[in-house]
Amino acid sequence: MTCLRTARFLVLCTILFSAPAIPAQPKAPEPPHTPSVGPSSDDLFDSIHVMVGPSGRELEAIAVNRPACPKGRKECGAIDRTIQRDLNLSGYFKVLDRASFLAQPMGETLVSTQWLDWANIGARYLIKTEAVLAAKGMNIEFRLFDVTRKQAVPVQGQSHQGIRDSIAARRAANKFINGVIKAVTGKPGIFGSRIVLSVKTAPWKRAIISIGMDGSGRRTLISNGSSNMFPRWTPKGRVLYTSFLPGHPSLYIGKKRLTMDDREYRGAAISPDGGSIVASVNIDGQSDLVLIDPKTGRTTKNLTNSAWDEVQPSWSPGGNMIAFMSSRAGSPQIHVMRADGSGERRLTMAGAYNTSPRFGPNGRIVFTGMDDFVNDIFVVDLQGNIARLTQNQGGNKDPSWSPDGRHVVFLSNRAGTWRVWIMTEDGRYQFPITRKAEEYATPDWGW
């Protein structure tokens, strides 16, 4: 197939027709559906990729004692796996191997701790869990201990009542670990957040799915027999995306069609307050950026009007600026402008092919840059200073910030097949969160 040479069609061809180069294989029968749980904690730690840099921080050593639970309860296994996986994925902790434990499990309770035994294996922190049967399910108590100071650390979400199944148990564990991260770093974790992305389901067909931060809980949000792309979360937890369902690319929110005209829409993003949508649309043969009323789907303002292509818009967290990719310099580069279209300027002055910008906190924009014909992830600030997040680890693309700006989700083929990965904001700790090789595209991270 031949793709047109303009940036807007190159972007579309990349997603629809030039998906990751995976050799064609006969399609095997799908196994019976089972809940997606993502990689195990051991898988994650074995796969962790560390980017060593001068400002790199070390992980805090934490011991997770096996939960004290009634025998035969599946919820206890779910709690144990979730706690360890969350701690590894957070990028703040190294979970110690239980084979190194010196403390006698039976001697460890919520009120009795063998401090020296935990200190001697290098633990800075310790987590314990106790669960008891109650009339309405299980009551669960989590505790965090500072081994160095020999004291318990109060944590939000450490007590839960009426846990009836493994799903509720995982949610309780997520809330507790969010509280642990807040107690240690000052800001809560974001376990329970969701990543939405497009995935190929058949030739010329793509669905919109969502997964948890750890790769578990996969849900199909949009599957309509057409090609659905460029998903973005809205402030109300719905999904804005581009679909070919009407016969040409149009904007949808959920299952409702938003744009009713015949113009071709190449992706969009909704403002943080939900009051406006910036979209890339084909106008007179090239892509320009426009503002759209999310209630009516009508264009309210043209932001750009040039002979070049402007695509891939992204709002700043405050809603006062928009980052986008423009070809006006002769090659794709990252630009920014005010939300009213004024003050447009180029940010990336290095690299010949920079795409997929996503605005994050503190004026940082994460993007995909090509270096020696390999895609990698970079960050640029509003002064044009660029930092590299991935290098010499296969191809990496389509980055997006976590809701708190402390992680980045992206796609990588470093393991031989394209999978979804997350990394800490400095790129130092990187983890795969999906097992199955699929043709993913354009993840977006929200609640």
Q: Cα(171)–Cα(403) distance, rounded to whole angstroms? A: 18
Round the CA-based radius of gyration of the chain to a whole number and report it: 23
Give yes or no for a contact between 303 and 284, defined as CB atoms under 8 angstroms apart.
Answer: no
What is the pLDDT, as a whole number, of residue 212? 97
pLDDT reading at 12 higher than 50: no
Q: Cα(240)–Cα(108) distance, rounded to whole angstroms? A: 49
SS3 assignment, position 57: coil
Burial class of 114 by CB neighbour count within 10 A (0 to 12, 13 to 18, 19+): middle
pLDDT > 70 in the chain, percent: 87
pLDDT reading at 34 higher than 90: no
How confident is residue 25, by pLDDT bands cut at 50, 70 and 90? very low
Reported as a single tens digit per residue, the pLDDT across 395-417 is 999 999 999 999 999 999 998 99
* Averaged pLDDT, 418-447: 96
Q: Cα(139)–Cα(131) distance, rounded to whole angstroms? A: 6
What is the pLDDT, as a whole number, of residue 48? 52
The mean pLDDT of the chain is 89
Q: Which of 21-35, 171-185, 295-309 has the lowest mean pLDDT?
A: 21-35
Tokens of 105: 């499990």
* Averaged pLDDT, 227-231: 98
| Residue 351: how many other CB atoms lie within 10 Å | 20
Q: Cα(418)–Cα(411) distance, rounded to whole angstroms? A: 6
7-19+193-446: which CATH number, 3.20.20.70, 3.30.70.20, 3.40.50.10600, 2.120.10.30?
A: 2.120.10.30
What is the pLDDT, as a whole number, of residue 39? 54
Reported as a single tens digit per residue, the pLDDT across 37-77 is 455 545 544 555 544 444 457 899 999 999 999 988 899 99
Q: Which of 3-12, 32-41, 138-147, 342-351 has the lowest mean pLDDT?
A: 3-12
7-19+193-446 matches 57-185 in fold: no
57-185: which CATH number, 3.90.180.10, 3.30.1380.20, 3.30.565.10, 3.40.50.10070?
A: 3.40.50.10070
pLDDT reading at 5 higher than 50: no
pLDDT reading at 262 higher than 90: yes
What is the pLDDT, as a whole number, of residue 99? 96
Reported as a single tens digit per residue, the pLDDT across 272-326 is 999 999 999 998 889 999 999 999 999 999 999 989 999 999 999 999 999 999 9
**Which residues make beta-bridge pairs with 136?**
none
Q: Show Cβ contacts of residue 115 under 8 Å, excluding neighbours closer than 6 positions.
A: 147, 150
How confident is residue 374, by pLDDT bands cut at 50, 70 and 90? very high
Tokens of 215: 């790769």
pLDDT reading at 240 higher than 80: yes
pLDDT reading at 425 higher than 90: yes
What is the pLDDT, as a whole number, of residue 3? 37
What is the pLDDT, as a whole number, of residue 47? 52
Q: What is the pTM of this model?
A: 0.88
What is the pLDDT, as a whole number, of residue 246? 97
What is the pLDDT, as a whole number, of residue 9? 34
Residue position matching structure tokens 């924009």: 365
Q: Which of 2-16, 211-225, 427-441 has the lowest mean pLDDT?
A: 2-16
Pairing of strands 374-380, 365-371: antiparallel
Which residue type occupies 110? L
pLDDT reading at 23 higher than 90: no
User: Would you report the helix, strand and coil content of the chain in percent, each value rounded to 5?
Assistant: 15, 40, 45
**Which of 200, 46, 181 is closest to 127 using CA atoms?**
181
pLDDT reading at 89 higher than 50: yes
Which sequence spans correspond to the domains of the chain? 7-19+193-446, 57-185
First to last CA, the chain: 38
How confident is residue 370, by pLDDT bands cut at 50, 70 and 90? very high
